Amino acid sequence: MTSPYRPFDVRLVARERLSASFMRITLRGGDLARCSPTLLDQRVKLVLGESRLLDPLRGDDWYSVWQAAAERPAIRTYTLTAVRAAAGEVDVDVVLHGRPGAGAGPASTFAQSAAVGERLLLVAADRSRAGHEEVGVAFRPGGAERVVLVGDETALPAVANILADRRPGVRYEAVLEVPERDDVRALAADRLTWRVRSRGESVLDVAPFAHAAAGDAAPGDGALLWDEAEDVSGGSYLWAAGEAGLVRAVRAAAKRTGVDRGAASFMGYWRRGAVSA
Ligand SMILES: Cc1cc2nc3c(=O)[nH]c(=O)nc-3n(C[C@H](O)[C@H](O)[C@H](O)COP(=O)(O)OP(=O)(O)OC[C@H]3O[C@@H](n4cnc5c(N)ncnc54)[C@H](O)[C@@H]3O)c2cc1C
């Protein structure tokens, strides 16, 4: 079966500084009208590099071609925050970390300093292909009556999408950790708790996650934590995403407080000190 995912050939057409830590980049491409409008936490890939390295990756076999290439462009995972089919545009909210040439990875560098007009590939689900609404979506609350969203700034685009698409009759709670006060934004949740890292605050101050023990937030064994709930039939559903050590600590606290593991998803979105692949 053909994967719903495929590369879209796009260009950077605008950037907007949303807050201290976020740059919204707008990408445009001829056939982005076919990009799936699913949003939620559906993951997409940005493929960043010189045009000559992008050219061979425009087909459905892009990933195997990339794997076999002697020189590979960077691939990073993101969440779309808007799909404007008629305009052939999408938005991505990129967390800025480090400065270009001084700690920033390829994606953070691109968001901060790529020239408007610069080309990249966006690997996203194609709305004309079967399965485009489900592929790459970890948020699966099933029949839950209460949804608890926990995350850091990299999970904020997904959380904002999920809260913008609330189901009637379900209670939504979110606990979010961001670098700066300025990153706090309006979100529609039944209960919303912000923690600001520059004030020394953390998600791990907030009950029930405050039960994390020393060591829970330590880096794991190298694998990025990825543990999705399978079939939630009622009650509460916990969705946690962000820095892997933080998510690991949230998972440990959830386990200690008796959260049903089958009704919880834990996703390491990045790892401190490790380059994403
Ligand atoms: C499903 C999924 C969805 C995601 N959605 C988003 C999204 O919408 N917006 C978003 O900004 N990120 C998102 N991320 C996280 C993003 O993929 C990583 O932060 C990625 O590592 C950034 O790539 P880079 O090229 O900037 O840095 P890399 O080259 O991967 O890393 C360079 C260095 O920077 C550090 N680093 C990476 N990210 C951060 C960070 N956020 N803060 C501080 N240091 C960091 C690394 O530990 C490493 O030391 C998502 C990840 C996943 C798996």
pLDDT, residue 1, reads 75
Residue nearest to atom 31 of ligand 1 (CA): 275
Instruction: Give the model's confidence band at 220: pLDDT under 50 very low, under 70 low, under 90 confident, else very high.
Output: low
Q: Convert 214-250 to b/e letters by CB count within 10 Å (16 or more is b).
A: eebbeeeeeeebeeebeebeeebbbbbbbbbbbbbbb
Phi-psi region for residue 65, left (φ > 0), alpha (ψ -120 to 50) or beta? alpha
**Token code pair at residue 133:** 């609404």
Domain boundaries in the chain? 5-125, 146-270
Residue nearest to atom 27 of ligand 1 (CA): 105
- Which whole number is the average pLDDT over 116-126? 98
Report the C-alpha gap between 160 and 172 in whole angstroms. Answer: 12
CA of 270 to the centre of ligand 1 (A): 5
Q: Using CB atoms within 10 A of its CB, is residue 116 exposed (0-12), middle (13-18) or buried (19+)?
A: exposed
Q: Using one digit for the tens of pLDDT, what is the confidence trace for 65-111?
A: 999 999 999 999 999 999 999 999 999 999 999 888 888 899 999 99
Confirm or reject CATH 2.40.30.10 for domain 5-125, answering yes or no. Answer: yes
Residues with CB under 6 A from ligand 1: 43, 76-79, 93-95, 97, 105-108, 154, 157, 269-276
| In contact, 209 and 177? CB cutoff 8 Å | no
Q: Across-strand partners of 149? A: 174, 239
Q: Using one digit for the tens of pLDDT, what is the confidence trace for 7-16?
A: 999 999 999 9
Q: Using CB atoms within 10 A of its CB, is residue 183 exposed (0-12), middle (13-18) or buried (19+)?
A: buried
pLDDT, residue 276, reads 82
* 146-270: CATH topology: Rossmann fold (3.40.50)
**Token code pair at residue 38:** 């699913």
| In contact, 183 and 22? CB cutoff 8 Å | yes
